[in-house]
Structures are given as structure tokens and as C-alpha cells.
Chain A
Amino acid sequence: GQNIDQPTEMTATEGAIVQINCTYQTSGFNGLFWYQQHAGEAPTFLSYNVLDGLEEKGRFSSFLSRSKGYSYLLLKELQMKDSASYLCAVVWADSWGKLQFGAGTQVVVTP
């Protein structure tokens, strides 16, 4: 599969903002998901971006630039419960809906 890159770990304090970047190769791109995964649990859906721009959902926002092969997940007003792994996943064209996941970014929220 094609490379999907995101940082390994990010640390931020409670109440702060953190931006998790994800880059991918643009060829064959169909859409991009962000999932949250707490340790030992399955991923939960956060967002799905197909078109360029910013989509806001409460404290979480996701941005996509198709031409640049770039997305970010923005977490605002961080809470301790936001400590988790955040997975960027790409749907490629002609993949029958299969997701390719990045390695995940572990976000650590400190008091």
C-alpha cells in the first residue's frame, strides 16, 4: 500500500489545543477517516473527509487538502479522557471500501 504518515506521539496539557497531521500520496485518493482508539478498545469514528476544507464537530475538527495530500485533526479544550491513539485512515479508489491505516498518533494529555 501507499505511505500514510502521522507523528508517533504528541503531548499537551489539559485545556490546550493539539493538531495531528496526516500526509498521504495523492494518487488514487478517495477519502480520509479519523478514528480515536483508547488502549485495549476498538476504534471509534470521529470524522470522514472527502472534499477540501474544514469540518467541525464540537471540540474536534478535521481538515483536508486533496491537492496537497494533507489532513489534520484538531482537538480543542483538551480533556484527560482525550488521551488515546488517533488513527488516520485512507480509502483508495477501486479498493472496495478498504481502509489503510496510518500507524497512529498517541496523544498524552497532562494535568
Chain B
Amino acid sequence: GAVVSQHPSRVICKSGTSVKIECRSLDFQATTMFWYRQFPKQSLMLMATSNEGSKATYEQGVEKDKFLINHASLTLSTLTVTSAHPEDSSFYICSAKQGARETQYFGPGTRLLVL
């Protein structure tokens, strides 16, 4: 149980385009999903917290207009990187938790390369 999927696993795009990443909880209802970014040889940095049916809460320094998050159902959250630039190239990972349970289960990650 507690499987989280992400799609796509890898994406290459041109500078200025937008990229959408999907995060799905496959066998449980994820009341809360989290989006992280990880640069090479660094730890995970939380970008935003997404609760189903409400607006995402962004961490300090993360531009909400650039990283659009939608959590329309209990099994799906999406992250859209708008007008991507080379500095947005990174490993984006989502996680999901169920209700009051603390454990977060991570998706396999999406590697974004912006040329």
C-alpha cells in the first residue's frame, strides 16, 4: 500500500515554455500533498503544501505565480512550472499523506531539464 506515482519521470523543454507534473496517490486518499525540489547533492527543499480543495501554501521564497499547484481531488495534485528557465532545472518530488497520519510517501520524482 501507500503508492504514489508521478508523471512524467523526465522532461526536457525549451526556455519559456510551461511544464505540468502530475502526482497521484494510487491506493489511498491523500488529504495533503507536498511538493519538493532537490538540486544535485542537496537535500529536499519543501516548495509548497497542497490540501485537497483549497489553495496551496507556499514556502518563503517560492513564487506562487511561477509554480502553480492544483489539488482538485483526493488522489491528484499537479505542479505547473510556468515560463520555465534553465535555473528551474531540478528534481521535483511530490509526497502524500493521509489525514492525520504523519508518514509521507514519496513519488518517484520528475527530472526537469530546461534548455
Q: Which residues of A contact B (CB under 8 A)?
A: 30-31, 33, 35, 40-45, 48, 87, 91, 96-104
Contacts and interface: CB of A to CB of B under 8 A. Distances in A.
Contacts, number: 53
Contact of B102 (A41, A97, A100, A104): A97
Contact of A43 (B42, B44, B46, B57): B44
Contact of B43 (A31, A42, A98, A104): A104
A103 B45 CA distance: 10
Nearest to B97: A97
Contact of A87 (B43, B49, B97, B107): B43
Interface of B: 32, 34, 42-46, 49, 57, 91, 93, 95, 97, 102-109, 111
Nearest to B100: A97
B93 A48 contact: no
Contacts of B108: 41-42
A6 to B, nearest CB: 10
A48 B103 CA distance: 7
B109 A96 contact: no
A98 B34 contact: yes
Contact of B42 (A45, A97, A98, A103): A103
B102 A43 contact: no
Contacts of A99: 34, 44, 46, 95, 104
B92 to A, nearest CB: 10
Contacts of B111: 40
